Amino acid sequence: MPHTHTSYLELIKTVREIGMLKSVAGVLNWDEHTQLPPKGTEHRATQVSLLAKIIHEKFSSAHVGHLITEMEASDLLHDPQSDAAVNVRELRRDYDRAVRVPSSLVQEISRVAVLAQSAWAEARRKSSYGDFQPFLARILDLKREEAECVGYRTCPYDALLDEYEPGETTANLNVVFASLRDKLVALIGRIGASGRKTPLDILERYYPREAQEKFARMAAMKIGFDFQAGRLDTTVHPFCSDLGPGDTRLTTRYDENYFGDAFFGVMHEAGHGLYDQGLKPEYFGTPLGEAISLGIHESQSRTWENLVGRSGVFWKHFFPLVKDAFPAALAGVSEEQWVFAANDIRPSFIRVEADEATYNLHILLRFELEQALLHEDLQAADLPGAWNEKMKQYLGIVPLDDAHGCLQDIHWSMGAIGYFPTYTLGNLYAAQFFEQAQADLGDLDRQIAAGNFAPLLAWLRKNIHSHGRRYSAGQLVKKITGKELSSEPLLKHLGKKAREWYGV
């Protein structure tokens, strides 16, 4: 039926135009966090909210709905895994969600998020939660309204979680997290009781900012990030922006008295960037040109930051280079001391600086608190106290101020309620994928030690990046590993590290 083929071409043309508008919004967002002068915040909020309204109205139009419906009745979709079938299936999912939310609400969420992010950055700088509290309260009101519009079976949190991790539920995450929590707490307890202390002071020496940036760029380039199709800038809270084919932007922050902040931050964001650069450019604007979920995206950043970047074999190649880059700071430091310092495991206040073992407890804390906030079991005014209580419960430490506590993350100011659990899912996916990559690639350790990252990147491109949204996260895990998602590979990895460095 020729008309259905024409309808498909029109549908793809329309969503590609929407993709271009989203890309423009992405440029404004990147600029907001890297270049925007403080007095431009109100104007940027107006720009972004107008663009969000235009994007939403264009996509949720009756015309797009008609094209999707026409395609669903077409014989063009007889193969459910064909490009056309995948695009139509995923566009239906996105469309059904979009039409439930009024464009006025989309516009208001976008406007408030810009103002809230600016207020958050200033409140974090001053460590003054009271300055941010009214913005968080407003964000929560808007997200409750969105959840009611979208609809849910069990609890409002499910409606927001589904945006970031399609098909995932709060109930299932509670089971997943329960399988990790007690084992992680026990492991961290054994490590603490071992009496072994990492030479952490090595990372806390003076590392000049310019040298840090040069070294981090070199490492990102070495693992495969294309700086002809990307760049690296500074911001308050590191992120990666995929603005479209040929334009993937990384950001980080520098602390001249702590090497790990920028370096492992860049490795993390470069992992995201490698995924974005691995999406097929010819599919831009369509579901086949987009990442499956935030959890799968996070698996790529955690792979390069932790499973590769903190490994002993990685530093077999990079330790001579880091010594050359920072001769004063690393005088007399051995490779073993350096790798031990990079694999320090101990409770700490800041999530993005947390080690692999304690990291998921930071996520559990946020997962529980944002549910309580959204469901109004916890009021925004009471967040700092509740945060500190959970920090003591899970990590045995209490933040000295709000900047090291409930103000450390940007996500709630962005309106990203339901986002945090995807970080732990990313750790689980990463460990399971990496275990399979090791089996498939033979001597992966030898390749990494030789500074040869191309085989691993090619494996990730073939098995994950190139598929876009062809498979769900669960289907992809099963396709690649032959198994359902499990906490065992991550716990096995952490247990091996604990035995190697702490003897427990």
pLDDT in tens, 370-396: 999 999 999 999 999 999 999 999 999
Task: Say if residue 143 is in the same domain as residue 176.
Answer: no
Tell me what pLDDT residue 2 has.
Answer: 42
Give me the phi and psi of 276, to 5 degrees please.
-60, -40
pLDDT, residue 179, reads 84
Whether 387 and 469 share a structural domain: yes
Looking at 89, 123, 151, which one is the last position of a domain?
Answer: 151
163 domain residue, yes or no: no
Q: Is the residue at 157 inside a domain?
A: no
Residue 161 placed within a domain: no
Assess whether 207 and 346 both reside in one domain.
yes
- 133 and 235 in a single domain? The answer is no
Domain that holds residue 59: 2-151
Same domain, 202 and 311: yes
- pLDDT of amino acid 178: 87
Is 156 inside any structural domain? no
Asked whether residue 356 is assigned to any structural domain, the reply reads yes
Q: What pLDDT does 298 receive?
A: 97
**Same domain assignment for residues 417 and 284:** yes
Predicted pLDDT of residue 3: 47
Q: What is the CA radius of gyration of the chain?
A: 23
User: Is 178 in the same domain as 266?
Assistant: yes
**Domain count for the chain:** 2
Q: What is the DSSP string of 164-220?
A: HSTT--HHHHHHHHHHHHHHHHHHHHHHHHT-----GGGGGS---HHHHHHHHHHHH
390 and 421 fall within a common domain: yes
Q: Are residues 120 and 266 in the same domain?
A: no
- The reported pLDDT for the residue numbered 4 is 54
Mark which of 119, 151, 183 sits at the end of a domain. Answer: 151
Q: Are the CB atoms for 223 and 308 separated by under 8 Å?
A: yes
Residue 63 has a pLDDT of: 97
Q: Is 269 a catalytic residue?
A: yes
- From 32, 165, 168, 269, active-site residue: 269
Write down which residue in 151, 182, 209 finishes a domain.
Answer: 151
pLDDT at residue 5 in the model: 81
Q: Are residues 83 and 193 in the same domain?
A: no
Q: Is residue 472 part of a domain?
A: yes
162 part of a folded domain = no
Residue 160 within any structural domain of the chain: no
pTM of the model: 0.94
Asked if residue 285 and residue 174 are part of one domain, the reply reads yes
pLDDT mean values, one per 10 residues, the chain (504 residues): 73 98 97 95 96 97 97 90 95 98 96 96 96 98 98 96 95 90 92 92 97 98 98 93 97 96 96 98 98 97 98 98 98 97 94 92 96 97 98 94 97 97 97 98 96 98 98 96 95 95 94
Q: What is the pLDDT of residue 319?
A: 98
Q: In angstroms, what CA-CA distances link 136 with 14, 112, 115?
A: 35, 10, 11
Around Cβ 146, how many Cβ atoms within 10 Å?
21
